[in-house]
Amino acid sequence: MDLQQAREQLIQLQEKMSAYNHAMGLLSYDGETTAPRGTADNRAHALGILSEITYQLSTGKETVELLEFLDENKAALTEKEQRMVFLLLKDIRFMQKIPMDEYVAYEKLVVESQDVWYKAKNQNDFPAFEPYLEKMFEAQIRFARYAAPDADPYDYWLNEYEPGLSRQVLDSFFSQLRQRLVPLIHACGEKPLIPEDVLKGDFPEDKQEELAYWLMDVMGLNRDRVGLSTTEHPFTTSLGSHLDERITTHYHRQDVSWSMYSVIHEGGHALYDTGSNDDLAYTVLDGGVSMGIHESQSRFYENILGRSKAFIRFLFPKLKELFPEQMAAYGWEDFYRAVNRVQPSLIRTEADEVTYSLHVMIRYELEKQVMAGKLKVHDLPAAWNSMYKEYLGIDVPSDRQGVLQDSHWSFGAIGYFPSYALGSAYGAQFLAKMRETVDVDACLEKGDFAPINAWNREHIWQFGSLYTPARLLNQVLGAPFDPSYYLDYLENKCREIYGV
């Protein structure tokens, strides 16, 4: 094989893959946004065939030979090419271990399972979803055993979502959090409850949509390349490359902050993805490197920036303009305090910053138990409800507001949740570093995200998946990751708002 030719084939292979990924990503996106409800089988038919073709393309003899040849000659490759080969071989070595019929069946399961979950949630019918969720856990255990026979299946998936993670690491991480957050939440709970009436009322969808687009503009999202749709559960997806990004939200008519913070959260993901250098487009280096770093960006924009005093002072006049009657009796301080209220609650995506990690912990504990065979899927609702009582002190009135609330398990994302808490913790340490050169508060007071985005682009976004999360963190921080930045940040905020 000729090396120069092989390098060209490496690019062509990734371009082809990006076309299939674009098509399959769009099929899923269409299923979540626009497609008529009864078309899941028809979509599964196409996805089944395309995923079989993709499987062959990614793991076929020709591809494996190409990549192994390049791997043997890696000294002659650029840093980018080396990373491409590493990432492509990683997937191949995974895919090679999964029998093709099981992989194809799994892709179909993902489509059907999402559809069933959607209906089951609407009808508060966990038993309808149960067999699909069982199959989903079974598949993840089977796939992990194929991929890493010696590893614990849950450790395998944790490490897949965030290289370096394991139950051991997370048990320690969550224990540090628990140690300082449990007393903090308790202390806040002793103080009078902050009223939320400024957030509640009747907020027409069209005005909320106007707010959503305004926020996208303020955040510096390029609307020529980033679209907004509505779905049951908000998400972000790149189609083909970072040059076509979609975020989604869900408008709750009675609560102005729900969609608002979804848009800022998904907008953070979209900023990270679309911030890749353009020459990474149509390669595996395009877009964010790991779930943890991704969540560090989304939760950085949502919470650290989006719930800061400086940003709320900038934002509030816009809310007054869009909702003059609803906001008539309030000032920015009311809004600031309300979006930072600490109170144990039912729904993760609506949880405040401080209790949020406990929601994540519960999912982590439950996944860990089901993956270890210590808990049956059938018993998940009961275990869920009992942990919400134990950690958050609240009763779960229905599975719809309990175990059925998140879409993640329905599409097989088991081991993903911990990255939400981890990302928050990364973000707080990024903030400390950013403040060394950027006057973050001054920017937010003016609604000028450009210097903040420029810092993130320079240090994080532009590299796409070129560096491992560990190397990227080290490059950005110049120090090891330390959760105490996050805990300090939360304690400071509670001190300011609650005086605790």
From the list 81, 266, 295, 367, the catalytic residue is 266
Token pair listed for 26: 């769009």
CB 260 within 8 A of CB 203: no
At closest approach, how far in Å is the CB of 11 from a second copy?
12
To the query of whether residue 107 is one of the catalytic residues in this protein, the response is no
Exposure of 255 in the CB half-sphere (CA atoms within 13 A): 12
How many Å apart are CA 54 and CA 212, to the nearest integer?
36
Please say which residue, 227 or 288, places its beta carbon nearer to a second copy.
227
CB 23 within 8 A of CB 287: no
423, 486, 494, 485: which is closest to 460 by C-alpha? 423
At closest approach, how far in Å is the CB of 486 from a second copy?
34
The DSSP string of 304-372 is IITTSHHHHHHHHHHHHHH-TTTTTT--HHHHHHHTT-----S-GGG--HHHHHHHHHHHHHHHHHHHT
Q: State the residue for tokens 């590299």.
A: 463
Please say which residue, 215 or 360, places its beta carbon nearer to a second copy.
215
At closest approach, how far in Å is the CB of 292 from a second copy?
27
Please say which residue, 282 or 336, places its beta carbon nearer to a second copy.
282
Please say which residue, 229 or 474, places its beta carbon nearer to a second copy.
229
Give the Å distances, CA to CA, from 25 to 31, 111, 228, 237, 267: 10, 12, 16, 8, 18
Please say which residue, 26 or 169, places its beta carbon nearer to a second copy.
26
At closest approach, how far in Å is the CB of 86 from a second copy?
24
Contacts of 285 (CB under 8 A, 6+ apart): 80, 83, 84, 87, 276, 464, 465, 466
Please say which residue, 242 or 359, places its beta carbon nearer to a second copy.
242
Determine the length of the chain: 500
Angle between helix 418-434 and 353-371 (nearest 10): 140
At closest approach, how far in Å is the CB of 22 from a second copy?
4
For binding to a second copy (CB under 8 A), which residues are involved?
15-16, 18-20, 22-24, 26-27, 30, 33-39, 41-43, 45-46, 48-50, 53, 222-227, 229, 239-241, 243-246, 281-282
At closest approach, how far in Å is the CB of 239 from a second copy?
7
Positions marked active-site: 266
